[in-house]
Amino acid sequence: MNILAIDTSNQVLGIAIVKDNKPIGEMKTNIAKNHSVRLMPAIDQLMRDVSITPDELDQIVVAKGPGSYTGVRIGLATAKSMAWALEIPVIGVSSLEVLAYQGRFFNGYICPFFDARRGLVYSAVYEWKNGQPEVVYKEENLLMADLLENLAQEDKPVLFLSPDIDIYMDAINTQLGKQAVIPELAFHVADASHLVLAGTRKQAEPTHALTPNYLRLAEAEAKWLKQQKEQQNNE
């Protein structure tokens, strides 16, 4: 069983190949460079390195967001098209859930997040139970201030995981003090091989049905819906 995992949903570009539950190849960069240019050469190289050809793949797992809209789409367009052409299943995993795997052995709440600008974050809160991350707070696009306020009411320590941790370090420490646990930077980027772990707990959807997990409407769409509502109220 050969599985290819792809994550281009945020700044990190991660790919992994897992053979019979064993990660045999992984590549990860955490630099601001173009995913569209680099993804396919990276897949080609990694598959050569581990001597697996495309037609030997049995499944693809992809990080479906939240994150960069464009990044998420590059990953999904690639994963869906490959899976469709090879007639193998494709599984989409939340980009927050895969990041939560970095807190696998933490006793308390695990809070992965991505910066969504203007004080907003994409985040969720998990707790490890029965060998898997169980959702405590569901995925949401909300103000970091609101998230921290909610977490401050909890009586458990909270592990924060984020490639954007620098932006909110002060806010977290101020609000939560000793309740907050912030590990070294090496723990704040997801491993693509963990996508495969998360994927094994999920059912593959039909390839056509796999859509990005934006957690947010397109700006034009949100505006349009608001206008429609206002018009209805005025009538």
Q: Which of 117, 220, 231, 235 binds other proteins (CB under 8 A)?
A: 220
* Closest separation in Å from C-beta 221 to other proteins: 7
Q: Is 73 in the site for other proteins (CB under 8 A)?
A: yes
Q: Is 80 in the site for other proteins (CB under 8 A)?
A: yes
Taking CB under 8 A as the binding criterion, the range among 24-32, 66-74, 102-110, 121-129 that sits at the site for other proteins is 66-74
Q: Which of 12, 76, 192, 196 binds other proteins (CB under 8 A)?
A: 76
Q: How many CA atoms lie within 13 A of 115 on its CB side?
A: 12
Q: Which of 69, 135, 141, 165 binds other proteins (CB under 8 A)?
A: 69
Q: Is 112 in the site for other proteins (CB under 8 A)?
A: no
Q: Is 208 in the site for other proteins (CB under 8 A)?
A: yes
* Closest separation in Å from C-beta 39 to other proteins: 7
* Closest separation in Å from C-beta 3 to other proteins: 15
CA pair distance 227, 50, nearest whole angstrom: 54
Would you state the torsion angle of the CA atoms of residues 218, 4, 86, 211, taken in this order, to the nearest 10 degrees? -20
Helices (H), the chain: 35-49, 69-86, 95-100, 144-152, 165-176, 192-200, 219-234
Q: Is 70 in the site for other proteins (CB under 8 A)?
A: yes
| Contact of 67 with 37, CB cutoff 8 Å | no
Cα 51–Cα 56–Cα 59 angle in degrees, nearest 5: 115
Q: Is 86 in the site for other proteins (CB under 8 A)?
A: yes
Q: Is 66 in the site for other proteins (CB under 8 A)?
A: no
Q: Is 117 in the site for other proteins (CB under 8 A)?
A: no
Which residues within the stretch 28-57 sit at the binding site for other proteins (CB under 8 A)? 34, 36-41, 43-44, 54-55
Q: What is the CA radius of gyration of the chain?
A: 19
Beta strand pairing call for 90-93 and 59-63: parallel
Q: Is 222 in the site for other proteins (CB under 8 A)?
A: no
**CA 171 vs CA 50, 99, 136, 159, 223: distances in Å:** 43, 21, 21, 14, 30
* Closest separation in Å from C-beta 31 to other proteins: 16
Sheet of 158-161: strand order equals 132-143, 120-129, 109-115, 158-161, 180-181
Beta strand pairing call for 59-63 and 2-7: parallel
Positions that interact with other proteins (CB under 8 A): 34, 36-41, 43-44, 54-55, 69-70, 73-74, 76-82, 84-86, 207-208, 211-212, 214, 218-221, 224
